[in-house]
């Protein structure tokens, strides 16, 4: 007989890499920021998808993004959607316009504001790495 007891504290959700997202998660583990680009129109896209959301072409090319960029928009999470994040609130989730093209979503640390410059941070979550962004202090 097996019993499953809820972990304490609650387990955080974790990624489930698949054919599309596997290269992304593997890259984060190595401190890289892989991003899909379309072989037909060249536009970068995130999250990884089997086809281009802009031109519908199925061609995929992986590019290395610097992970630097600019905050396009953000929200501050005041109420955790999952009890596993209750100790983290408040925190910011932003849409980042990446240098070199493409837009990603991720947690931002530091003084988040629209237009802030951000840099990648790789947070070790045990057997996977989370990409976060650190906002640059205003001069
Ligand atoms: Zn395309």
Each residue's pLDDT tens digit, 53-92: 999 999 999 999 999 999 999 999 999 989 999 999 999 9
Is a pLDDT exceeding 70 seen at residue 139? Answer: no
Ligand 1 centroid from CA 56, angstroms: 6
Which residues keep their CB under 5 angstroms from ion ligand 1?
38, 40-41, 52, 54-55, 57
* Phi-psi group of 98: left, alpha or beta (phi > 0 → left; psi -120 to 50 → alpha; rest → beta): beta
Residue that the structure tokens 């899909």 belong to: 36
Ligand 1 centroid from CA 25, angstroms: 22
What lies within 8 Å, CB to CB, of 7 at 6+ separation is none
pLDDT band at residue 12, thresholds of 50, 70 and 90?
A: confident
Ligand 1 centroid from CA 117, angstroms: 27
Judge if pTM exceeds 0.75: yes
Ligand 1 centroid from CA 13, angstroms: 31
Ligand 1 centroid from CA 77, angstroms: 33
Residue 137: per-residue pLDDT: 85
Q: Could you give the 3-state DSSP secondary structure of residue 83?
A: helix
Ligand 1 centroid from CA 74, angstroms: 26
């Amino acid at each position: 007989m097996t019993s499953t007891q809820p972990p304490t504290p609650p387990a955080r959700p974790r990624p489930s890499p698949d054919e599309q997202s596997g290269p992304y998660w593997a890259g984060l583990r190595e401190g890289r920021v892989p991003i899909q680009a379309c072989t037909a129109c060249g536009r970068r896209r995130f999250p990884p998808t089997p086809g281009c959301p802009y031109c519908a072409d199925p061609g995929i090319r992986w590019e290395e993004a610097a992970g630097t960029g600019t905050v396009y928009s953000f929200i501050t999470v005041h109420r955790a959607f999952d009890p596993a994040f209750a100790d983290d609130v408040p925190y910011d989730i932003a849409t980042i316009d990446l240098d070199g093209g493409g837009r990603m979503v991720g947690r931002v640390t530091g003084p988040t504001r629209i237009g802030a410059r951000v840099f990648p941070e790789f947070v070790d979550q045990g057997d996977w790495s989370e990409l976060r962004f650190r906002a640059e202090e205003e001069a």
